[in-house]
Structure 1
């Protein structure tokens, strides 16, 4: 990830906590199902969603209470471990997949957790109880992460802000279709640009299976970011056909996390395509600056320095991420494409 988010703890996180508390409560229970298994603060929502919450939680409990104690404890611990997103990202735990073909207790759990997300999280019971909506959460989250303008996952697309009419979707970092146990865990719900959340990029791919074993934790406060360098692998007289070599550097030395990020979000091909489609205009703007008669009194070296400095400032403000490194690589290493573009500009 280019940057990480600041986590926003809100009442929306309580749904996840209430569900974990339910499994903590029933771990050692074998008697009849009872509403006292739910936190009193959660009962209102349970009663508003009798089919999703009461009926399904009872079905899960009726199975678990017949199991040996060790098996019950193992499952409850599995649910807890599957929600330690930071630990999962470090590669210390691999949660089990539960796909649409799951049967038995896995199917009961999958349906329960997915419906928590699709029907309860922004449903009437929750919004009435806490007088809030997912849009409200997004607005406060956006304010808390005001410094993040570009998508922190790719650095290409822009994020929506609270002032925008629409909002970015919450992407399940671990896809809920495969890892439903963390479906309502807001450490697993990451706003991203449309492309990162599309089937052309991440989609419903198995984040963990595609990874090298370690992942960037989206809310890692110690993350020092990523820098990128563009180099000409094969020059071409047609700028859009230049082959690029893209190098990534992280001050923390998180090579495994970088490789996972590149694979999950198809970073190499997206970056290469983005630059190929824009390098002509980027270089033209640079060329016009270098030939601006109003600054001809400056040396060529200083004109170049000032232009790249302005791009660096855009990067620091989160307005552009790829333009400066790509343009620098093109200026310093291209011969054929650069000569072709300059011939066009002079003609």
Structure 2
């Protein structure tokens, strides 16, 4: 990704604390009958309030928690429960997984299934419902916070207004009544237990989220032929890292007829010293090369940038080198404004190709 989000501590994270207790202290316990008193006190109150709410027609928590607890206690042995407990810890250390730390091995639903088919089925339903349904219920939000409140706090702290995964699409900010969708960076359909972990959740533009990221797994190499994940583990950029990635974009243009420019005329070179795996993951998952080349070839993007530059030269207001210097200055001070981070290498390529006279 082109820049990092700043993490925002928020009351909505309380739900993850309840989940920590549920998995580690209740489901993974060794022996003893299940009772509501085993739950975190706040989760116990939520379960009871939901159970007594006649307006709710679905058993959101009490039944699913009991069903999964019975599987843990009756169908898993002590070693298997310890294994699930370890997977829980690893799956919620998002930064360590993105860094491909060898001592942190994530657990997938496929691995849960290898332990117990019933557990995999029930956990998948339960973890999916946590983000889709349960964290939005009044019994929960009255004790934590609404997700819209988290979003407002998030975009107030992260006010760039651009999507860090592509660099050019807008992210709705604090002055909008609507919000962007939260993406599960490590896909919730692959990894259990982190569907309400806000270090695995971040706003993402619609194009990145719905057209490119989808259910791709950034932690696994993507087969370039079949476009499927499942290969070797690799590092990925952590959305909330303290150190921002240093990404350099360069390009060359093979054709002097920029008005007829097509993607195959462009050679795009993207580098990030010492971050080759993270760069590969980002470019694979978000279709960066395809999207950047398409933007360069678009009439109202790259081709228009060149028209503006040529007009400046024709009117005698600036020389080609002065234009390049100005864009360089803009890209250094405001890289995400007016797509300066991409405009800079494109106009440099135009000058080198003799297109910018």
Name the TM tier (shorter chain). Answer: 0.7 to 0.9
Q: Does 1:225 align with 2:246?
A: yes
Superposition map of 1:43-192 within 5 A = 43-50=44-51, 51-66=59-74, 67-92=76-101, 93-98=104-109, 103-130=117-144, 132-146=145-159, 148-192=160-204
- Structure 2: stretches of 5+ with no match in the other structure: 52-58, 223-232
Superposition map of 1:17-56 within 5 A = 17-26=17-26, 27-50=28-51, 51-56=59-64
Paired residue total: 328
Q: CA RMSD in A?
A: 2.4
Q: 1:68 and 1:173, CA in 2 relative to 1: closer, same or farther beyond 3 A?
A: same
CA drift at 1:172: 0.7
SS of 1:321's equivalent in the other structure is: helix
Give, in whole Å, the separation in 2 of the partners of 1:306 and 1:207: 36
Give, in whole Å, the separation in 2 of the partners of 1:330 and 1:269: 19
Q: 1:24 and 1:88, CA in 2 relative to 1: closer, same or farther beyond 3 A?
A: same
Partner of 2:289: 268
Contact between 2:327 and 2:340, CA under 8 Å: does it hold in 1? no
Superposition map of 1:170-249 within 5 A = 170-198=182-210, 200-210=211-221, 213-232=234-253, 234-235=254-255, 237=257, 238-241=259-262, 243-249=265-271
Give, in whole Å, the separation in 1 of the partners of 2:323 and 2:200: 46
Give, in whole Å, the separation in 1 of the partners of 2:212 and 2:236: 16
- Structure 1: stretches of 5+ with no match in the other structure: 343-347
TM-score by length of 2: 0.84
TM-score by length of 1: 0.86
Structure 1 ranges of 4+ moved more than 6 A:
none
Contact between 1:156 and 1:320, CA under 8 Å: does it hold in 2? no
CA drift at 1:309: 2.9
SS of 1:228's equivalent in the other structure is: strand
Contact between 2:4 and 2:244, CA under 8 Å: does it hold in 1? yes
Q: 1:301 and 1:222, CA in 2 relative to 1: closer, same or farther beyond 3 A?
A: closer
